[in-house]
Amino acid sequence: MQLIIQNLSKTYANGVQALKDVTLTINQGMFGLLGPNGAGKSSLMRTISTLQEADSGSIMLGEINVLTQKEEVRKILGYLPQEFGVYPKIDAVTLLDHLAVLKGISNKGERKALVEALLNKTNLWQARNKNLGGYSGGMKQRFGIAQALIANPKLIIVDEPTAGLDPAERNRFLNLLSEIGENTIVILSTHIVEDVKELCTDMAIINKGEVLYKGSPLDAIAELQGKVWSKRISKAELEDYRKNFNMISERLIAGRPEITVLSDSQPDSTFEKIQADLENVYFSHVFGATEKVVA
C-alpha cells in the first residue's frame, strides 16, 4: 500500500498558507517528515488523518480517497498527535478495552487478547493496572502507540513523539516504532534530526508549507560529502562570515562561534573539512543554502 499526496494546499482563515502544493509518495516502512516548528508538518498530518479539510489537491491511501472517504481511512489509521492526553484516573487495561469497543471490536475475549498483546508489545504489561496519571512521559507515549495500534492499522502517524523524553525512553520508543514500521506505513513527523537518521529509509524536508527535499537520508548525506567546512571564529567576525560565506549553521562552543559552511571547495586555508551528516542536510535546505531538490 502507498500513500500518494498530490498538489495539496491549505490556507487558514487568518491568511497563513500552511501547505503549498505538497506532493509526496510514501511507501511501507518508516518515513521521516523533518521541518522546524511551524513548517506545516502538523497541518499535513491533520489533513492526512482526516481532522481538517484541504483547499485543493488529493490524497490516496491505496484505493481510498482520504479527502472524501474519511470513515474508511479512520478504520485503518493509527494516530498519535503531538498533544496526547490520557484519562489520569483510569488504568491502561480499562482504557484500551474501552477504545477497542469504540473501534468496533465487540467480542470480549478478542478484546482481552488484543489489550494484553498491545501492552506486552509496548512494554507496559507490568504497569497495566496503574492509573495513567502516574505514567512517565515515555510511558504515556508508548500507551499512545498502543491505542494507535488497535484494529491493526495500515497507516500510523506520530507527530513529534520524542519531544521531552529522556534518552532511555526515547531509545525505547524509537525501537518500538522501528519494529512497527516493518509491516506498516509509519510517518514520523519531527524537528529532531537524529530521530529520522536512526529510523527512516525515506524522508522529506518541509518548511513554510513547501517540500524542499524528498529522498533517502543516506543519499542526501552523500550529496554533501566533501562540501561541508567548519571553523571557529570570534563573535565580532560572525556578521562578515554570514555575508560572505554560504553558512548553514552556527553554534557557540565555550563562548566562541563555530560556523559550518557549504562550499564545493575549501573556502580558505583556515577552514577544516568535516564529515557531512543529516543535520547539515537539514540546515542547508531549511536555510536556503541549496537549491530545491525533489527526488
Contact 200, 32 (CB under 8 A): yes
* Helices and strands in the chain: count of H runs, count of E runs: 10, 15
> pLDDT (tens digit, 0 to 9) for every residue of the chain, 295 residues total?
899 999 999 999 999 999 999 999 999 999 999 998 889 998 999 999 999 999 999 999 999 999 999 999 998 999 888 777 778 899 999 999 999 998 889 999 999 999 999 999 888 999 999 999 999 888 888 898 899 889 889 999 998 888 777 888 888 888 888 888 888 999 999 888 988 988 899 999 999 999 999 999 999 999 999 999 999 999 999 999 999 999 999 999 988 999 999 999 999 999 999 999 999 999 999 885 444 333 3
Under CATH, to which class is 3-215 assigned? alpha beta
Exposed, middle or buried: residue 128 (CB in 10 Å: 0-12, 13-18, 19+)?
A: middle
Sheet of 202-207, strands arranged across = 77-80, 155-159, 185-190, 29-34, 202-207, 210-215, 293-294
Maximum C-alpha span of the chain: 72
Comparing CA positions, the residue from 203, 196, 191 lying closest to residue 35 is 191
Q: Which three cell numbers stand for residue 155?
A: 497507516
Domain locations in the chain?
3-215, 222-294
Q: What 8-state DSSP symbol labels residue 103?
A: T
Q: Hunting for cell 530521530 — which residue is that?
A: 195
